[in-house]
Amino acid sequence: MMTSHYMRLTGTTVGPGAGSVLRTLWEQLQKDEKNTVIGTVDAVFDRTLYVSAPVTVGRYDSSVFALGVSDLAGEPLVVGLETPPGFSFRDHCSPLDTVRFRREEDELLKIAVGSTFVAAVDVGETTRHKSTEQALQYPCSRFSFGTEPVRTHTRILSWVANEGVTDDLGQFELLRRVRAGYADPPVAEISPTLHNFVETACLEVLGRDPPRERQSGPATVAGTVVQPNAWDTGRAGTTPISLLGRGSGATPAGDDFLSGLLLVLQGIADPELQPGIQAFADRIVSHAHDRTTTVSAALLEQAALGHAAQPVFDCLVALTRPEQTFEKIEQSATDLLEVGHSSGADTLAGMLTATTVVLPSLERCTHSATRSKPTEN
């Protein structure tokens, strides 16, 4: 029973990921003729509280959403609450606290956390919330080596260096040295690790086998012979999967980097590439649950679905629309770099890796394959 000593908060905004979870939960309660079910607090921060709900939804069987302070409107997993000044979730709850979901009339869901506060959310509003969702579409050819967008993005890398900004993976410096603005940049000579990463990502999107030297035999885990997928091998940083969980904190740097990469890939309009891109995203998400934090895996799911927080989405628009100027990209990148301790920088590094080396390499591979096809007489 939810008693009167709870602090009462009201949901004001609902992101698309959170909306899917809460709407499904309310409908399941209605179908089962239940009023209350139990969930668990996964992680607690000053401005957000992540919760596992007792339902799964969507392509990735998602169950995690977040309660957040009011200025986090637009975050895909966040229910924005009308919180008082100075409010911190750390002052009110702890990981593994019980969360009670209670179905009320008129599509209202009450979420009680521990014994300290209850949030009222109108799940009917979740279906009408306008999300920052990947609706951009652009051809891979826009980002060929030496094209104007790629040259502009290399200027952004120089600007980042001049500002003294670094990412936790050191990717900015590698990309700057590659000089992707040229028609034939020496990626392999500059960094074998980056070259292997790009080659692996491209081959997986194209559905091709990895180089023989990167394939390995079966391993034994707990007495059981496991046939590894060739794409899972490699030192940290040489394959996309190897970056999962790399770094510290609730959202490790490798995961933020992969989120930026996935968001750019999701906008590719080329029909011959879309199935491979979806398969690539699915593999990243499927491995994330075993290799990184619950919070970070949930955010990778959102990136794979094309959902992003407002600063990330704005930067994505600036980087991928053809009419955007260097100054507009610089402004949106500045806003993104202010996100988190290093999450914004790591996400931007993933986006720029996609636009300056991954997409140009994909374009080169697809054109080479087209030219190599025999013509009919």
Tens-digit pLDDT profile for residues 100-116? 999 998 889 999 998 88
Please compute the mean of the pLDDT values over residues 20-31 and round it to a whole number.
Answer: 94
Please compute the mean of the pLDDT values over residues 326-340 and round it to a whole number.
Answer: 94
pLDDT, position 179? 79
**Residue ranges of domains in the chain:** 7-126, 140-215+224-372
pLDDT, position 212? 53
Length of the chain: 377
Task: Write out the H or E segment, with its range, that includes residue 12.
Answer: strand 7-14
pLDDT, position 5? 67
Answer with the residue of higher pLDDT: 78 or 225: 78
What is the C-alpha separation between 286 and 43, in angstroms, rounded?
A: 21
DSSP 151-170: HHHHHHHHHHHHTT---TT-
pLDDT at residue 225 greater than cutoff 60:
no
Tens-digit pLDDT profile for residues 26-46? 999 999 989 999 999 999 999
CB 40 within 8 A of CB 111: no
The pLDDT-based confidence of 210 (bands split at 50, 70, 90) is: low
3-state helix/strand/coil string of 222-270 = CCEEECCCHHHCCCECCECHHHCCCCCCCCCHHHHHHHHHHHHHHCECC
Tens-digit pLDDT profile for residues 287-330? 998 999 999 999 999 999 999 999 999 999 999 998 889 999 99
pLDDT, position 291? 93
As beta bridge partners, residue 78 has 66
The pLDDT-based confidence of 355 (bands split at 50, 70, 90) is: very high
Distance linking the first and last C-alpha atoms of the chain: 78
Answer with the residue of higher pLDDT: 179 or 103: 103
Tens-digit pLDDT profile for residues 122-158? 987 654 444 445 567 999 999 999 899 999 999 999 9
As beta bridge partners, residue 43 has 50
DSSP 3-state of 210: coil
pLDDT, position 322? 83
Measuring CA to CA, which residue among 345, 372, 356, 359 is closest to residue 161? 345
CB 131 within 8 A of CB 15: yes
In the block, which residue shows the tokens 């290399």? Answer: 154
pLDDT at residue 356 greater than cutoff 60:
yes
The 10 Å Cβ neighbour count of residue 264 is: 24
pLDDT at residue 263 greater than cutoff 70:
yes
DSSP 281-341: HHHHHHHHHHHS-HHHHHHHHHHHTTB--HHHHHHHHHHH-TT--HHHHHHHHHHHHTSTT
Answer with the residue of higher pLDDT: 136 or 376: 136
CA 16 to chain centre: 14
Rounded alpha-carbon distances, angstroms, from residue 162 to 170, 173, 260, 337, 357 = 15, 11, 22, 14, 21
